[in-house]
Amino acid sequence: MKKLLYTICALFALHATAQQTPAPEQTGVYTIMNATAHIGNGDVIENSVIVIENGKITAIADATTVRMDIKGEKIDAYGMHVYPGIIAMNSTLGLVEVDAVNASDDEREIGTYNPHIRSIIAYNAESRVVESMRPNGVLIAQVVPRGGRISGKSSVVQLDAWNWEDAAIRTDDGIHINWPSSFSRSGSWRNPGPIEPSKNYDEQVTELTDFLNSAKAYSATPNPVGVNLKYAALKDAMNGDDNIYFHVDGEKGIRDVLTFVKANNVEKPVIVGGREGDKVAAELVAMNVPVLASRVHDLPAREDEDYDMPYKFPKLLADKGVMVALENSGSMERHQARNFPFYAGTVAGHGMDMEKALMMITLTPAKILGIDKDYGSLEQGKSATLFISRGNALDMRGNQLTRAFIDGRDISLNSHQTELYERYMNKYDAEIKR
């Protein structure tokens, strides 16, 4: 009974403190002047002029070389920086609100093979966690289910919406497969044993392969006998219309995935995590397989690995020609997603060019998701999904947003965290003045 009361109170608190009202559709025109524009494709305009109209970027140019009439509201961003909206890849944003409250946890389904599960219909647009992403410039997210051998389908959302229908940018962009682990550690978390080859690895790979081959055969059959929802859900991915995301780490596991991809003519494979992927970079490049590199702010995967391997891993891949974006799965992943700009900043701090590091959280993710026609960079004709920062947005000290827009809508940058900040700053300011 006590547990039930706690759950009811928690749910009431979540409802009572829901996200603020989403911004209305753009009606006027905005002209951003004098900012340094980081295009997202590697280019920079030191003194830019950007015109936002009807939700689109209708003009972007160097203000020192192009004369342009100022339309609508002039936003003087002198000394500031403009960036495309940051994209949080492989996230569970909006699927869990409070881990300890089961009723707010909808990130996974029971069962092993769930390709028919769609994360988008479980997405909570009023999540307080989602709200806290925007003040750091994270404006778009790929929402991914977890669990099982095949978790289900992910979708792409913008982070200022009334409901999942309003939020959706692209629904069902791909299937997520958790490739069997080729190595495992015996013992417990208190007394871990040695890392050894998994005894059931070959059996698990065979089972997964048989399932996918059956789905492929089902999709190729004009009039299959009976309806199999799980097989049918894999049709677009097996036919090459959607991505297949293989969550896999380790050299052997990645090589086995590439063997499977080649044998089954998988057209749009993506490696997620990909630790030790630098050892098979040549094969990844030859097969045009992008990698969502595992969380940058993490510990080394092996005892004999360089202490800074997570920091420099994306650059190691990129230097060898692999298309790389950043992802964030792991402990406290929903709350940590606000750190995406700082992941890119850490990569830049370990040798990567700053603008190329920015691409790993903007244009490259957009290309992998198939939304780069409208998102991922500051270009004429694309969606006006961008933000203005006082300083370098990839640096914690400079990431101070003044304005942000999603599809031209002037969105709120307030959150529970900003309210607490203002409350206690006022408190301490009053004490200092005494």
**Residue 189 pLDDT class (50, 70, 90 cuts):** low
Confidence of residue 18 (pLDDT cuts 50, 70, 90): low
pLDDT attached to residue 182: 82
Which residues contact residue 341 at a Cβ distance below 8 angstroms, ignoring those fewer than 6 apart?
86, 136, 137, 138, 361, 393, 394, 399
Query: pLDDT tens for residues 153-183?
Result: 999 999 999 999 999 999 999 999 999 988 7
Shared domain for 64 and 207, answered yes or no, is: no
H-assigned helices in 267-415: 281-286, 309-319, 333-336, 340-349, 354-359, 363-369
Quote the CA–CA distance of 179 and 173 in Å, as a whole number.
19
Rounded to an integer, the average pLDDT of 211-239 is 88
What backbone phi and psi angles, to 5 degrees, belong to 432?
-65, -35
Identity of the residue numbered 203: E
One domain for residues 208 and 95: yes
Instruction: Report the DSSP pairing between strands 291-293 and 324-326.
Output: parallel
173 and 311 belong to one structural domain: yes
Q: What is the pLDDT of residue 19?
A: 61
Q: How far apart (Å, rounded) are the C-alpha atoms in residues 129 and 93?
A: 7
Establish if 118 belongs to a structural domain: yes
- Please give the torsion angle defined by the CA atoms of residues 176, 181, 185 and 190, in that order, rounded to the nearest 10 degrees: 0
380-393: average pLDDT: 97
Structure tokens at 369: 């998701």
Q: Give 11's contacts (C-beta < 8 A, 6+ positions apart).
A: 101, 103, 104
The reported pLDDT for the residue numbered 14 is: 45
* Model confidence pLDDT, tens digit, residues 32-66: 999 999 999 999 999 999 999 999 999 999 988 87
DSSP string, 159-181: SS-SSHHHHEEEEEEEEEEEPPP
Shared domain check, 275 and 189: yes
Joined tokens for residue 207: 């089972």
Q: For the segment 292-332, what is each residue's pLDDT rounded down to a tens digit? A: 999 999 998 888 888 999 999 999 999 999 999 999 998 88
The mean per-residue pLDDT over the stretch 7-21 comes to 53
Q: Could you tell me if 134 and 47 lie in one domain?
A: no
> For position 102, what pLDDT does the model report?
83
DSSP 361: T
Q: Pick from 90, 154, 159, 92: which is nearest to 325 by CA?
A: 90
Report the pLDDT averaged over residues 117-121.
95
pLDDT category of residue 220 using cuts at 50, 70 and 90: confident
With pLDDT > 70 as the criterion, what percentage of the chain qualifies? 94
The answer to whether position 189 is within a domain reads yes
Q: Is the pLDDT of residue 264 over 50?
A: yes
- The structure tokens listed for 304 are 């004999």
CATH number at residue 73: 2.30.40.10
> Taking residues 335-347, what's their average pLDDT?
95
CA-CA distance, 357 to 377, in Å (whole number)? Answer: 13
Question: What pLDDT does residue 6 have?
Answer: 47
Predicted confidence at residue 66, as pLDDT, reads 78
200 found inside a domain = yes
Indicate the average pLDDT of the chain: 90
For 74-94, what is the mean pLDDT? 96
Instruction: Say if residue 159 is in the same domain as residue 215.
Output: yes
**pLDDT for 227:** 86
Are residue 200 and residue 143 in the same domain, yes or no?
Answer: yes
Tell me, yes or no, whether 128 lies in a domain.
yes
Same domain, 183 and 309: yes
Whether the pLDDT of residue 395 is over 50: the answer is yes
12 pLDDT more than 50? no
Would 24 be classed as within a structural domain? Answer: no
Rounded Cα distance between 123 and 140, Å, is 13
10 pLDDT above the threshold of 60: no
Q: What is the pLDDT of residue 15?
A: 46
**Within a domain: 2:** no
Domain that holds residue 403: 29-84+395-432
CATH number, domain at 301? 3.20.20.140
Which residues are paired to 342 by β-bridges?
none
- In the chain, the percentage of residues whose pLDDT exceeds 90 is 71
Does residue 23 lie in a domain region? Answer: no
Most confident of 12-16, 222-226, 406-410, 419-423: 406-410
Residues 309 and 368 in one domain: yes
Pair 164, 289 in one domain: yes
Residue at 150 is within a domain: yes
Please give the tally of structural domains in the chain. Answer: 2
More confident position, 190 or 284: 284
| Ranges assigned E (strand) in 161-301 | 168-178, 183-187, 192-197, 243-248, 269-273, 291-293
The verdict on 121 and 61 lying in the same domain is no
Q: Does 429 score more than 60 pLDDT?
A: yes
**Long-range contact set of residues 27-32: C-beta below 8 Å, sequence gap at least 24:** 28/72, 28/73, 29/53, 29/71, 29/72, 29/73, 30/72, 30/73, 30/75, 30/384, 30/405, 30/408, 30/410, 31/70, 31/71, 31/72, 31/73, 31/74, 31/75, 32/75, 32/77, 32/82, 32/388
Q: Give yes or no: residues 52 and 105 share one domain.
A: no
Find the range with the poorest average confidence among 198-212, 278-292, 293-307, 417-431: 417-431
Band (143; pLDDT cuts 50, 70, 90): very high
